[in-house]
């Protein structure tokens, strides 16, 4: 061991902090110069932690379910009445939907319509938030031989939630439609006008760049557009809602705050790479 005088050792101890602060600037530059390093380190960390979180999820889920159950018992009567009302309404809608479905099939048959190819999907559990304070993303726990690729589309039971941006051996990261970096080509369902859905990190992404002469209507349904070949057409996203300041926003149909299980569809779209994967490819290093 190196023998140092007490003064030298004290001087060294006092120097550690400034040197490390300078090193942190170095790390910032490194992270900026090579975004892949951070991405790989995060995926490796996520792969390591995902099994722990998956194990933790079940007891935590039990606790949450018990609390939810107690709360549900409390207002069961009101809930029951509300559900009966809703059921009535939905039954009416169901008959309309069945009639429309039959009509649709008749019309398609008379047009010799080529149906869209069915997409294959896998289901995965959300194990952790993967966005931090300044991003909106979730981490999925997937099996070892999952075959999930970047750019695939994640959907919950109600609508689009986002796209896969990073894939590890046991985990995949989904960038949510509310993230600041998310840009999605969409279509307004009644006017059939195209627009871009821009994430803001807030709960409701913003609608931008719709054509002149058309205004998004409050409550109008927004679906994905097949433009740019990044998404299949007509996946439900949400409904238009004007904010207090008059900006057209979209209330997502998916429950982005409490995602538990999501489906990942492989539509074989290759048009646009997902936002975070626009980093230099490993081959160029």
Partner 1 sequence: MATIDRRPGIRPRASLGRRLDVMARVGFPACTTVLLMLLTQAPLDIPEQAALLPAVALCCVWFWSLFRPGNLPPPVVFLIGLFMDLLGYLPLGVGIFTLLAVQAAALGMRRPLSRRGFFWIWGVFAAVAAGAALLIWLLTMLLTFHLLAPYPAIFVAALSIALFPLLAVPFAVAHRSVADPDRA
Applying CB under 8 A, among 17, 109, 111, 114 the residue interacting with partner 1 is: 17
Applying CB under 8 A, among 28, 71, 76, 100 the residue interacting with partner 1 is: 28
Q: Interface with partner 1 by CB under 8 A: which range of 20-28, 155-163, 219-227, 245-253?
A: 20-28
Rule CB under 8 A: say whether 60 interacts with partner 1: yes
Residues 109-128 that bind partner 1 (CB under 8 A): 126-128
Rule CB under 8 A: say whether 142 interacts with partner 1: no
Shortest Cβ 187–partner 1 spacing (Å): 27
Residues 145-184 that bind partner 1 (CB under 8 A): 180
Number of residues that bind partner 1 (CB under 8 A): 44
DSSP the chain: -----HHHHHHHHHHHHHHHHHHHHHHHHHHHH-HHHHHHHHHHHHHHHHHHHHHHHHHHHHHHHHHHHHHHHHTHHHHHHHHHHHHHHHHHHHHHHHHHHHHHHHHHHHHTPPPPPPPEEEEEEEEEE-S-TT--EEEEE--TT----TT-EEE-SSSEEEEEEEE-SSEEEEEETTSTT-EEEEEETTT--EEEEE--SSSSPEEE-PPTT--PPTT-EEEE--GGGSS-TT-EEEEEEE-TTS-EEEEESS-GGG--EEEEEE----SS--GGG-SPPGGG-
The contact set with partner 1 (CB under 8 A) reads 1, 16-17, 20-21, 23-32, 37-38, 41-42, 45, 49, 52-53, 56-57, 60, 64, 126-135, 137, 180, 200-202, 257-258
């Amino acid at each position: 061991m190196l023998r140092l005088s007490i003064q030298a050792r004290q001087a060294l101890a006092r120097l550690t902090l400034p040197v490390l602060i300078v090193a942190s600037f170095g790390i910032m530059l490194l992270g900026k110069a090579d975004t892949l390093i951070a991405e790989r380190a995060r995926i490796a960390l996520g792969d390591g932690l995902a099994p722990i979180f998956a194990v933790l999820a079940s007891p935590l889920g039990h606790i949450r379910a018990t609390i939810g159950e107690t709360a549900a018992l409390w207002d069961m009567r009101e809930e029951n009445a509300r559900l009966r009302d809703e059921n009535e309404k939905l039954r009416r809608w169901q008959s309309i939907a069945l009639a429309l479905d039959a009509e649709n099939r008749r019309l398609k048959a008379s047009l010799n319509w080529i149906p869209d190819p069915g997409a294959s999907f896998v289901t995965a559990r959300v194990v952790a938030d993967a966005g931090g304070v300044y991003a909106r993303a979730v981490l999925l726990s997937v099996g070892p031989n999952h075959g999930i690729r970047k750019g695939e589309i994640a959907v919950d039971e109600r609508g689009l939630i986002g796209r896969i941006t990073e894939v590890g051996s046991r985990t995949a990261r989904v960038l949510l439609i509310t993230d600041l970096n998310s840009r999605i080509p969409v279509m307004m369902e009644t006017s059939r006008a195209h627009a871009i859905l821009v994430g803001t990190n807030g709960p409701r992404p913003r609608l931008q760049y719709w054509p002149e002469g058309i205004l998004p209507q409050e409550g109008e349904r927004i679906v994905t557009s097949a433009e740019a070949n990044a998404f299949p057409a007509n996946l439900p996203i949400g409904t238009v809602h004007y904010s207090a300041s008059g900006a057209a926003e979209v209330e997502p149909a998916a429950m982005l705050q409490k995602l538990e299980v999501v489906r990942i569809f492989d539509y074989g779209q290759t048009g646009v790479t997902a936002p975070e994967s626009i980093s230099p490819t490993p081959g160029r290093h």
